[in-house]
Amino acid sequence: MLMKALRAGLGQLIVLGDAVSRPRPQRRSAQGQAAVEKEAARLSLYQFHACPFCVKTRRALHRLNVPMTLHDAKDDPVQREHLLAGGGKIKVPCLHIQEEGQSRWLYDSNAIIAYLEQRFAGIV
């Protein structure tokens, strides 16, 4: 019980720290941002709100100015089941990528951030 309360408290501190120190979003031309939004429509992030690795991934999304659908895999049983059925495990963060009729599930915050950087950082 004590560990659960401690974990919840630390999670909220991490979320608060993110809120006060969030990086500036990347600026793009209107056409560049429209292209990013079109590409991002095929992506969604399964996450827990206070997970430090999810916060790290959301910070990268904010910095890269990539709007994305976020799914709460902790408190939403439908999304949790969708993550398990599609990705094969309940592990967050997980980026669901839908392109060319294919569906991929990318786990690990570092791998997700590298994918996002490669795909979106160069669009101006």
- The pLDDT score that the predictor gives to residue 1 is 82
Query: What total of structural domains would you count in the chain?
Result: 1
Q: What would the mean pLDDT of 14-35 be, rounded to a whole number?
A: 90
What pLDDT, on a 0 to 100 scale, did the predictor assign at position 15? 81
pLDDT digits (tens, 9 = 90+) for 97-124: 999 889 999 999 999 999 999 999 999 8
0.85 cut: is pTM over it? yes
The enclosing domain of 51 has a CATH number of 3.40.30.10
Which pLDDT band holds residue 91 (cuts at 50, 70, 90)? Answer: very high
Q: What number of other Cβ atoms are within 10 A of residue 63's Cβ?
A: 17
| 93 in Cβ contact with 57 (< 8 Å) | yes
**Cα–Cα distance, 66 to 86 (Å, whole number):** 23
CA distance 64 to 5: 33
For residue range 29-83, list pLDDT tens digits in order: 999 999 999 999 999 999 999 999 999 999 999 999 999 999 999 999 999 999 9
The Cα 12–Cα 81 span in angstroms is: 25
Determine the structural domain holding residue 68 and report its residue range.
2-120
